[in-house]
Structure 1
Amino acid sequence: MASIIAGLAGGLVATIVMTILMMVIGDGGPPPTAALVAKFADGTPEDYEMPGMILHLIYGVLAGAVFAVGVPLMGLNLESIAVAVGLGLVYGIILMIGGMVFWMRMVIGMEPDRDTMTMFGTVHVVYGIVLGAFFGTGILA
């Protein structure tokens, strides 16, 4: 149970850092999750910017719990900061690819430009590194 709580907390911290970075280097538009909400709520992404941000926060927190449970199930150890950051980096890349291919293109039907893809990739890599660092420092161990 402690690993799930640590995963939720780590996911929250990593999502907050990721979101701040997204706001700094992004174009100021709504997150892709707003387009997902808009698709099912019949509106524009701008109409659903805040619900999109909340959905993104929920995804990030839950992804942290998946990391916390999944890494030990694969027989890997998060006690070393270098290993945890490395695993977090790999996880961030996996989330980036899944987000770009599955969510953005297949589910939402977006065809993002190069700048959007660069920002999207960067913030997901940062998410993974922060998540790994959170575990590697043993804050909630």
Structure 2
Amino acid sequence: MSVSDRLRQLRPSAGSASERRPAADERSRTADKDVAGAVARGVQAGFVATLIMTAFRLPILRSLPPSANFWSQYVARDHDPDEHPIAGLVLHLAYGIQGGALFGALFELQDAEQAIEPEQRGLVWGTIYGLVLSAFGSQVMLKELLDIQLDADELTLFHAGHLVYGLSLGAWVGSRTEGVEDPETEYEYDDGN
């Protein structure tokens, strides 16, 4: 047998395109399922994190979230946010859930070699995400869209609330995301016998 014949035997058969497609389709379905699961985790996390953020901010600021201003200005058109506490809170919860869904998807897509555990990545990326949302909220939503200028102490608490949201979001998603097993870090159990 010649060397080229031996190489052909060692090389796996490429097979037809239809034989290769099921494996590619399976990987695609698995990736879609992973992103769908990540979005579902994000929705759950967004719900919980919004409740935590709202519980943090309401007693301190003693005012409704700015979503009540949005509702009164653009939906009810009466410009009195105090007339719409329930609508403002529901809208705030809807924003938080959507933000959580987006975070869940981004967290799943950002794989960065998984140098640290998902729980730690969740806290890091959740902190960054919360602060980015806060900056966007204060500069675009409040100033531009709602024409609201917060005092320094209110702005500080606005940012703190979004930091609490981001930390809660990241902790929830990270703690419910499976990490990649590293075979080098597996330990054997020594029962002493």
Question: Same fold by TM (over 0.5)?
Answer: yes
Match of 2:94 in 1: 58
Higher helix share: 1
Residue 109 of structure 1 aligns to a residue whose secondary structure is coil
Q: How large is the RMSD of aligned CA atoms in angstroms?
A: 1.9
Deviation at 1:79, TM superposition (A): 4.8
Q: What does residue 17 of structure 2 align with? A: none
1:67-110 Cα deviation digits (max 9, x unpaired): 01123334445952111100000000000001000100000011
Residue 46 of structure 1 pairs with residue 82 of structure 2: yes
Q: Which amino acid letter does the alignment assign opposite residue 20 of structure 1?
A: A
Q: CA deviation at 1:65?
A: 0.4
Query: What corresponds to 1:35 in structure 2?
Result: 69
Q: CA deviation at 1:118?
A: 1.1
Indicate which of 114, 130, 147 corresponds to 1:92. 130
After superposition, the C-alpha distances for 1:25-47 in whole angstroms (9 at most, x for unaligned) are: 21x12211111111112220111
Structure 1 residues without counterparts, runs of 5 or longer: none
Unaligned runs of 5+ in 2: 1-35, 180-193
How far residue 137 of structure 1 moved from its aligned partner, in angstroms, is 1.3
TM-score, scaled to structure 2: 0.68
Which of 49, 56, 61 pairs up with 1:21? 56
Cα shift at 1:24 = 2.1
**In 2: Cα distance, 1:126 partner to 1:62 partner:** 17
Match of 2:107 among 71, 94, 100: 71
TM-score by length of 1: 0.91
Give the Cα separation in 2 of the matches to 1:58 and 1:129: 18
User: Runs ≥4 in structure 1, deviation > 2 angstroms?
Assistant: 71-80
